[in-house]
Amino acid sequence: MPLHPPLAKDEVRASATVKTEAAGEITLNYYEADLRAGAEAADRLPLVMLHGGGPGASAWSNFGSALAGFAGEYRTLLVDQPGFGGSDKPPVVGNYYRFAADAVVALMDQLGLEKVHLLGNSLGGGTAMRLALSYPDRVGRLILMGPGGLSLNLFHADPTEGVQRLMEFGAKPSREALRAFISTMVVNQALVTDELVEERFADATAPGAQEAMRSMGMSFWNPDTAEDGMLWREAHRLRHHTLLTWGREDRVNPLDGAMVALKLIQKAQLHVFPRCGHWAQIEAADEFREVAVGFLSRHRERTQPSGGSQ
């Protein structure tokens, strides 16, 4: 698998205006790259990557450093989910996972993408799973990294340490609170640089960002919408081949949260990265890419009576 140098953000950035029933007309920001050559470009589904939901999160902050590596194997799109990054920040209607999944499907329609592989981290993992449940024929394979909604903690208390730090930032935003939150994402604290904190703080305090975070958060606390986000209750319905990936030292969605999903999803497998937190794509970048590409490369299209995907 050839490696490629990092891609410049401005060279791969694009946007599209889409319309959904809940969100109305919104513009989504995304980054797209395809570094394959010739015949290689025709035989694999595109790959859509969906980021997590912490303060200052975006497609680029989660996956920008990984884009070139994956684009060497797949047409790869990193999507800013509604409320994050350069995408519009409308009030969330219903539960966020369904709200965002509908927006991602609308983007797929706009770009002429009939079917894609999905890779989602944390909040993006919940969006990816909801999309696969609601639109099973639009998804090939799923890679879920410490996914929200599907992670059911058996031994750890709720809220977890990472979620507590997230709520503390939401209650009183500051660089110190943000650094404390980001520190729970990784084992290697050298990754928590001043530059990263400044970049994420700027995005987290940009116009509309804090309101969007509150709207997203309330969709998981409001009794009328929270149950729709309990994806573990629907895990038995998922028919796609699913790779669950977890950092062994994840302090946001701890490893014990994988067990129910592994038991209930018929075609699930689990890969655990040692000495790794919630950001496997950054902290275990090379191994994560190798495992993910290997899993996706085994996809084969074929007709299934159930409407599921291989």
Q: Which region holds residue 122: left if phi is over 0, alpha if psi is between -120 and 50, else beta?
A: left
List of residues 6+ apart from 212 with CB closer than 8 A: 82, 83, 84, 89
Q: Give the mean model confidence (pLDDT) for residues 199-204.
A: 97
Give the model confidence (pLDDT) of 253-302 as tens digits: 999 999 999 999 999 999 999 999 999 999 999 999 999 999 999 998 75
Which of 45, 191, 29 has the alpha carbon at shortest distance from 119? Answer: 45
Position 22, amino acid: A
Q: What residues form DSSP beta bridges with 117?
A: 47
Give the model confidence (pLDDT) of 50-95 as tens digits: 999 999 999 999 999 999 999 999 999 999 999 999 999 999 999 9
pLDDT class of 122 with cuts at 50, 70, 90: very high
- Cβ–Cβ under 8 Å, residues 251 and 166: no
In the three-class reduction of DSSP (H, G, I as helix; E, B as strand; rest coil), residue 36 is classed as: coil
Which of 92, 94, 95, 113 has the alpha carbon at shortest distance from 104? Answer: 113
DSSP 143-184: EEES-TTT---SSS-SS-HHHHHHHHHHHS--HHHHHHHHHT
Torsion (CA) 170, 224, 239, 100 in degrees, nearest 10: -50
The active-site residue, picked from 4, 241, 278, 299, is 278
Give the model confidence (pLDDT) of 213-237 as tens digits: 999 999 999 999 999 999 999 999 9
pLDDT of amino acid 310:
56
In the three-class reduction of DSSP (H, G, I as helix; E, B as strand; rest coil), residue 289 is classed as: helix
Residues 276 and 247: their CA atoms lie apart, in Å, by 5
pLDDT of amino acid 116:
98
Ranges of beta strands (E only) in the chain are 13-20, 24-33, 47-50, 76-79, 116-121, 139-145, 242-247, 268-273
Whether the per-residue pLDDT at 1 is higher than 60: the answer is: no
Identify whether 156 is a catalytic site residue. no
Q: Which region holds residue 38: left if phi is over 0, alpha if psi is between -120 and 50, else beta?
A: left
Please provide the average confidence, as pLDDT, over all residues in the chain.
94
Give the model confidence (pLDDT) of 124-170 as tens digits: 999 999 999 999 999 999 999 999 999 999 998 889 999 999 999 99
pLDDT of amino acid 306:
41
| CA angle, residues 32, 38, 41, in degrees to nearest 5 | 45
pLDDT of amino acid 41:
57
pLDDT of amino acid 42:
64
Give the model confidence (pLDDT) of 95-104 as tens digits: 999 999 999 9
pLDDT of amino acid 302:
59
Whether the per-residue pLDDT at 191 is higher than 80: the answer is: yes
Whether the per-residue pLDDT at 110 is higher than 50: the answer is: yes
